[in-house]
Amino acid sequence: MKNKFLNLIFGLILLTFTSCGLSMDPQPSEETKIADKAIIGETIKIDNLEVAQFDFNEKMSYVDALGACARLGDGWKLPNNDELNILYQNMEQIGNFEGEGYWSSQRLYKNSVYFKNFLDGSQDSDNTSSEHSVRAVRPF
């Protein structure tokens, strides 16, 4: 009985240490920091939004999109549905949109998030593991 209890305690301690180690965010490399600055570029201000000049270089999952925008720092984030509508309505003025579907920060269900189709302006939802384009914004 004592051995089972000790094994349980040891297992919980080991689980705690390994899960803490896995949750630590690695620091971005210098190349990543330079690429992130290039994404922001010469920002455009529309309504109460500051919009990064470029999309991220690749489509990404919802979780990766949240992390990529947060990594930019200084309040950069994934746009919500209303902010995506502002981007869509002003896409000619903003420019440099390369993708079709852009992630929103708003969830529909636990594993389903809204995205906006920039070809026709429609809005839909997709699984968080799907990949869509990402444009970062921040309020000003």
- Select from 104, 41, 44, 38 the least CA-distant residue to 77: 104
pLDDT tens profile 60-100: 999 999 999 999 999 999 999 999 999 999 999 999 999 99
The rounded distance, in Å, linking the Cα atoms of 54 and 57 is: 8
String of b and e for 40-56 (b: at least 16 CB within 10 Å)?
beebbebeebbbbbbbb
Half-sphere exposure of 134 (CA within 13 A, CB side): 26
From the number of C-beta atoms within 10 Å of its C-beta (0-12, 13-18, 19+), residue 83 rates as: buried
pLDDT tens for each residue of 27-57: 767 777 778 889 999 999 999 999 999 999 9
Instruction: Give the separation between CA 100 and CA 32, rounded to whole angstroms.
Output: 24
Q: What is the pLDDT of residue 30?
A: 77
DSSP 121: -
DSSP structure class, residue 114 = E
Closest CA to 133 of 62, 28, 49, 77: 62
- Rounded mean pLDDT, 122-139: 98
The residues near 80 (Cβ < 8 Å, ≥ 6 apart) are 104, 105, 106
